[in-house]
Amino acid sequence: MSWTFLRMRRFARYYFKIFANWSLSPFRKKPLFEITRIERMQATGNLGFPNRQIARIKHWRGVLFSETLIGQSVLLLALGLMIAIAWQRFGDGVALGDVMVEFWGLLFDILFIVVLLGVFQYRQQRRQDTARQHEIIEDLKRWNDEEAMHRIVGALRRLNGMGQTAVDLTGAALSDAKLKGYGVTSLRGSKLSGGGWADETLRESSFKNVDFSRLDLRDVVFGVDAWGFGFAKSGRYEDCNFWEADLQGSCFDATELHWTTPPPDTLEEVIAEEDDGRPIMARTHYASFNDTDLAHATFKKCQFHWADFREAYNIETADFAAATGLETCAFDSEELKQRIIAKAKVDEV
């Protein structure tokens, strides 16, 4: 079975479920079909073969033919070798003397001077470009104004384009940034807050109304209990979104996760009524951790205020030890909420 057929089948199944849920929404309070985050990513081309392979091919095509002359040099070398082999096979009786010697010397120059030196020059240029983007982030991350935000997000986008995801945003003050909308795809392995003071440098970070949705945030350090007692707040995240983000293994220890509006009782509301009085329901609210993967994430000694964990994945594998404010948060069920609160208190002891 070809990959094209599998891709089209997933695509058709996904949009069939979308259409069925929409067409039956006036008659059902809950959707007929459940659509998972994995299905959505498969249908929209953000997951698996051949999307990653195509992205890698585009990346290396740009490296070989746009950013350097390595690709053209290799093609020229291959063409020269083909001419030399063809001449040796079919050029009997025609003596070129020193011409062939010079020709082989030309091929040698292409291989060792253009190609190999091009590789070394490219690696050096990449290191310099990467260091320059990190310097931009370091210089501007404490400004907390719109210009600094745009330049920081631009640097993050360029680092992603160069294959870099881990950045140091300790001590950053960032507001109103929509990272995915600016082309940022991953912050995997980054450190967003160091917590407390170190070498007379404030390392506590503040992020307000920052959109982390649909990003690869695996193993990101959003906060760390620098003093070991949980008394010092390591970072503040106010009204931030983590929709459909991958937060596997991320750390929110000793952070403050604050939302200024309480989560509604339900994710759907009545928007109209049928002629016979039946309500027409529609989704009007998306939780702050909607479709977020929280597998093995840690929220130790975290201070919560009105966080909404409804429709989050693997929440029971997350560590909420000694976390406070969980009673203000929303979960998929009251039973799940009580289990998490009880486990947080047990782990605290």
Q: What is the pLDDT of residue 64?
A: 77
Q: Which two tokens stand for residue 49?
A: 């073969």
Q: How far is CA 152 from the centre of its chain?
A: 16
- Cα within 13 Å of Cα(304), Cβ side: 25
Alpha carbons 148 and 316: distance in angstroms, whole number = 38
Report the C-alpha gap between 174 and 164 in whole angstroms: 20
Task: Quote the pTM value.
Answer: 0.73
Bridge-based pairing of strands 255-258 and 303-305 is parallel
- Helix, coil or strand: residue 186: strand
Token pair in block for residue 226: 């620098």
CA distance 236 to 256: 5
In terms of Cα–Cα distance, which of 301, 304, 292, 337 is closest to 321? 301
Query: Closest by alpha carbon to 185, among 55, 328, 313, 338?
Result: 55
- Diameter over CA atoms, the chain: 98
How far apart CA 229 and CA 247 sit, in angstroms, is: 24
Give phi and psi for 207, each to the nearest 5.
-125, 120
Helix (H) or strand (E) holding 252: strand 251-252
Domain extent listing, the chain: 141-349
* Cβ atoms of residues 174 and 141 within 8 Å: yes
pLDDT digits (tens, 9 = 90+) for 123-167: 888 899 999 999 999 999 988 899 999 999 999 999 998 889 999
- Provide, for the chain, the percentages of residues in helix, strand and coil under a 3-state DSSP scheme, each rounded to the nearest 5: 45, 15, 40
CA separation (Å) from 198 to 142, 143, 171? 16, 19, 11
Token reading at 168: 């140091």
- What is the DSSP secondary-structure string of 163-182? T----B-TT-EEES-BTGGG
Nearest to 62 by CA among 74, 53, 70: 70
Question: What are the pLDDT tens digits along the chain (349 aa)?
Answer: 444 444 566 677 778 888 888 887 777 767 787 777 667 666 655 544 455 566 677 777 877 777 777 778 778 778 877 887 777 777 665 556 666 677 777 777 777 777 777 788 888 888 999 999 999 999 999 888 999 999 999 999 999 988 899 999 998 999 999 998 888 999 999 999 876 554 445 567 999 999 999 999 999 999 988 776 655 578 899 999 999 899 999 999 999 999 999 999 888 777 777 777 787 777 778 889 998 999 999 999 999 999 999 999 999 999 999 999 999 999 999 999 999 999 998 766 5
Q: What percent of the chain has pLDDT over 70?
A: 83
Q: What is residue 1's predicted lDDT score, i.e. its pLDDT?
A: 43
290 burial (CB, 10 Å; 0-12 / 13-18 / 19+) is buried
Q: What is the DSSP letter of 262?
A: P
What are the CA-CA distances from residue 224 to residues 125, 230, 328 (Å)?
A: 34, 9, 23
pLDDT tens column, 194-216: 765 544 455 679 999 999 999 99
